[in-house]
Structures are given as C-alpha cells and as structure tokens.
Amino acid sequence: MSIPSLNDIQKAHRRIVSLIHQTPVLTSSSFNAIVGGQVFFKCENLQKTGSFKIRGASNAILSLSDNEREKGVTTHSSGNHAQALAYAAQSLGIKATIVMPDDAPSVKKKAVAGYKAEIRYCSPTPEAREAMCEEVQRKTGAIFIPSYNDNRIITGQGTAALELLKLHPDLDIILTPIGGGGLLSGSVIAAKGINSNIQVIGTEPEAANDAFLSFKKGELILVNKPNTICDGLKTSLGDLTFAVISSYVTDIVTVDENSILQAMRYIWERMKIVIEPSSAVPVAALLSGKVEAHNKKIGIIISGGNVDLDHLPWHQ
Amino acid sequence: MSIPSLNDIQKAHRRIVSLIHQTPVLTSSSFNAIVGGQVFFKCENLQKTGSFKIRGASNAILSLSDNEREKGVTTHSSGNHAQALAYAAQSLGIKATIVMPDDAPSVKKKAVAGYKAEIRYCSPTPEAREAMCEEVQRKTGAIFIPSYNDNRIITGQGTAALELLKLHPDLDIILTPIGGGGLLSGSVIAAKGINSNIQVIGTEPEAANDAFLSFKKGELILVNKPNTICDGLKTSLGDLTFAVISSYVTDIVTVDENSILQAMRYIWERMKIVIEPSSAVPVAALLSGKVEAHNKKIGIIISGGNVDLDHLPWHQ
C-alpha cells in the first residue's frame, strides 16, 4: 500500500482540469462574525454533477489505458460518485454501468440516467451492491472504479483543496466531511504537502462516527447502517483512507443531527447556496464550537449540493 | 433629467468596490445544452445582503456629504433595497430607518433588523409607504435614498454588468429582470458604453408587465397591485428609468408565472444556488424560447436569493 503525494495531486489536477469547474470560494461576513474567524467556503456543490466526486472519477478514468476504456466502467454508489462517474464517462465517450441502491434519492437516480449511464438497482446493503457490481464486471468486462479507497480517487479529490490553497495559502485549518475518507485523504495530502503547519480536521455525524472511532482507537472500525440525514456519509473508511487519515489528520470531531440541520439551513438562508446535509457537517463543527475558529483562517470543502427539493429536512 | 454614462458607472464601481463581493459568474453545461447557446450567470444572489441592491445603496450613501450622512438615511422598500440600505448604513456607521410593508417576507424583515436598522411598518400600498417615509424625513432629517429612480442607484446597479463584461466582453445579449428598472437601466448603460452591438433585453412577469407596456407604447404606464410570485418586481418604472430603458434597451419580453416557477426550480436543482422568483424571470425567457439563445453568448444578471425557506413556491 503506497500513499500518494502532493505531486500526484498536482498531476491529477493537470489531467482533469478541462473536465471540471474551477469552483468559486465564497465568504460570508455574517458567518465570520458568528464564529470569530475568517472562513473560506470552497464550493464543490457548484461543481459539475453537484459534488467534488467528478474530480476523482475523471482522474480514475483518465488513468485507464485505451484498452481498458473500451471495456467501459462500473461502480456501486449511493449517489454522488455514481453521477460523477456517469458524467465523466459520457464526457469521455465511454460506457458506464452504475449499481445504485433502490432507496437512493430520486434526484440522484434521475441525474445518473440523464448522463446516459445504464443503472442496475440493488438492495441497500454493502453486500448486495458489491455482488451486483461484480456480476457486471464478470459479464461485461467493465473496469470497476471504486468511490474512495483508491489512489486515483484520493488524488483527484485532493485537487479541491489544492485549488483552495492556491487562492488562500495561509489557511490555519481545513475542514472536510468524512464518508469513505477520499476527500479528507486527498485534502490532507495536499495541505500537508504545501504547508505542514496547516491543521486538517475531519468532521463526521455522531450517528455515523466510524472514522472518529477508528482514529481514536488506531484501528479500522466499521459502522453498519448508520441513521443520519447525511446520505453521503454512511460509508465507513477503507484500509487506504484509514492509513492516510490516521497518519496525517490533526483530529476528527463529530456533530449531532440537529446541529447539521441548523447549519444546512443557515447556509441556504444566508449564503444562498444549495448544500446537501453532508456538506453542513463541517459548518456545524464551527457553529457548535467543536472546532475553535477564533482569529483563525479556515477553509471548508463544501462537498455537494444534491438534494431532493421535494423532501427538505426542515419540512419533515 | 440627465442620463448617466459608462464613466459614471466606472466611478461608482471604484467607490463601492471594498463594500461588495466580486460575485462569481457560473455556467452550466446542461443549461447550455437545453438552450443551444453559452449562458453566463452573474450571481448577485451571492452578493452581500443576497441581492444586487447593495451596489446602488452603497453608491448612494457614499455620494452623500459628511453633513448629510450625520442625519442618517431612510427608504421604503418591499425588501431587497431595504436590506441593502440597512447593511450599507451599518457598514459605514450611519443610522438607517426603513419603512417596510407589513406583508414583506419575514426573512427580509429579520435581515433588516439584523443589520440594526430601525424598521417602521406600513400598509402595503405605495401611498402608505411614501407617507410614512416622508414623516420619517420630516421628523428626523434623514436623507431619502430611493430604490431605483435615481442616478446614484442606477450607476451603482450598473456595476454588476460592468464586472460581467470585464470577464466576458464578447457577450451578444444581456438579460435582466425589471422591477423599477434600476438594474436594467444600469446594465444597458454599462453594456452599450462598452460595446454598442450588445443587445440588452429586459424580462418581466406577464402579471406585472408595466415596463413591457410602457416600452411598446412609448409612454410610462403604471400597474397597480400586480399578482405575481416575483415579490421584487411589483414596482412600476419611474420617469428616469423609463427614459433610459426606452432610449437604449433592445426589447422587453414577458413570461408567465408557471415558466418562472419551473425556471426557478431548475436553477436550484441543477446549479445548486438559491434564487428568488424575480431572478428566474430572465432564465424563464431563455427556457421558454421568448429570447432565442441559439449559438449566442448570453449574460444573465441573477438579481437575488432572498426567499422564505418555509414557503417555497413549489410547496404551495
């Protein structure tokens, strides 16, 4: 198992730059006044396909040989990686077959279908997803593109922090949410490679705290069927992302569901951007004081904005 | 009555630049595919106070003498100008008294209060607003800052198009919504001053088509209590904005309420930004084909994002 470097992330960025948006970095004086620091929101919700996942997915596809690309790609995903892989494949003219749990939000299913990928539905368990995805590979020869536990994915996801640090190299802290840990792994490699004094802190729902437990205990702990509004953060870490995170990350903090909901609503109401619950987790860490922002410069990777507008959490 | 010039807008921009956000310009490949052109969204919903109105309000205050500033400022507004004036006054350390109709969206009332302005509520008629605002001026000496029919406001609002054209000088068309006409007037002066070939088209709800009727007939026509979801566009043109618009604007088109609602939802769902109904009007003009986008480069000023998240139009 080899851990990628800042140089690998820079190479990934050159590889994918024409396929992605250079997303804006927003600030809010009212948010800064509340937390007492300066916060820079790197808006990957405004990224193509509505999340940072296009970075890793396109980097992975562009790393394949011509022969591999001809066979097409496949993955299993609860949503954002699925959309990202479908879009990247469509942009590059290759076939994608996406295995999705049948309870994925309808807006995510529609988007994947809109990118002309073939969708195969399965039960919402890790076992069912993997079995069906293996079947697709066996029958079609499609190349499996994992959603986080993979160096091509980690280096792709790290390009968001790379862009943020290019604009704001003097950040004290970078915050990201944690699902499978691909975004956090890529971000910490980018940040520590640029300036080893930058603290990189992972933020996680209390109700899906596998990374928090793993980090504190020093061994990989999985959680089964976590009950959180953050549909993007239900995954546990993999061995590779756990190795990166346990080696380099400063800390992991958790926040409760109500804090996440309040933080999500605050961002919609005051910053006028649509963010999904997962993206509100690092925001909640600041608003709840779990991460101390006083007189600090803090970057947050806003991971995505794919929500079902007919089922907003504050209407339920 | 003198009409301001591009040079006046450039001066306004230098005056206000430290008080405002240089808002991002977003693009969407899915939107471009639908309309068959290239569309650039200048996101004033991401502006301070959630709308472009801070541009005109801060330019107006910064144009006052020290003696006038000491007296404070006042205005009557259904919302976005109110927030903008309150915020600009707070930033510059002067007192603001805002006359608001008692049926203004609660999110707008809360924001004005949050900027420490004094609020005076009145009935939701032009007469009641003006009477109360005159009373405030008489009793306190506060300087009245109008919301659109004023050269300082028009030149301030024109700075959004100025920024957009600096990034994309080769636009074929610029679209804005029309309420009182300040944004459209400033935009057309900026655009025509930079390149007289740029077409500037105003877009208006059918249900509040005073500007359309005025433009077509060549005389100022007012509408009374228009019934539209676009709470920002219920105002009629003033003599100054009518003079600018009738002299320079290429055309005015109208769109129906359902088109506006669909366009608003599309932008939330696909572009992940919160826009208010008024901002969806130029989007609807493109999606409905009222403005032909084929092979054109089009700039849209997305005017604002102040909505009540508890009362979204697609939940009513």
Contacts of A274 in chain B (CB under 8 A): 268, 272-274
| Residue A81: both structure tokens together | 């990686």
Catalytic residue status for A53: yes
Contact assignment for A309 to B310 by CB distance below 8 Å: no
Confidence of residue B99 (pLDDT cuts 50, 70, 90): very high
Give pLDDT tens digits for A245-292.
Answer: 999 999 999 999 999 999 999 999 999 999 999 999 999 999 999 999
| Residue A261: both structure tokens together | 């909901």
Between B107 and B261, the more confident residue is B261
CB A268 within 8 A of CB A190: no
C-alpha of A75 from chain center: 16
Chain A residue with minimum CA distance to B25? A24
| Residue B215: both structure tokens together | 């433009």
Among A53, A109, A192, A234, the active-site one is A53
Residues in chain B, how many?
Answer: 316
Distance CA(B285)–CA(B174), nearest Å, equals 12
Q: Which residues, at least 6 apart from B247, have a Cβ–Cβ distance to it below 8 Å?
A: B3
* Nearest by Cα to A178 from A146, A218, A206: A206
- The H-assigned helical ranges of B17-150 are 29-35, 53-62, 66-71, 80-91, 106-114, 126-140
Give pLDDT tens digits for B184-219.
Answer: 999 999 999 999 999 999 999 999 999 999 999 999
Contact assignment for A314 to B315 by CB distance below 8 Å: no
Residues in chain A, how many?
Answer: 316
Give pLDDT tens digits for A193-211.
Answer: 999 999 999 999 999 999 9
Mean pLDDT calculated for residue range B95-115: 88
From first CA to last CA, the distance across chain A in angstroms is 44
**Phi then psi dihedrals of residue A129, to 5 deg:** -60, -50
Residues of chain B that touch chain A, judged by Cβ-Cβ distance less than 8 Å: 21, 24, 26-27, 29-30, 45-46, 48, 50, 107, 114, 265, 268-275, 305-306, 309-310, 312, 314-315
Specify the pLDDT at position B316.
63
Q: Which amino acid is at A135?
A: E
ipTM of the complex, rounded to two decimals: 0.94
Return the minimum-mean-pLDDT range out of A37-51, B18-32, B108-122, B209-223: B108-122
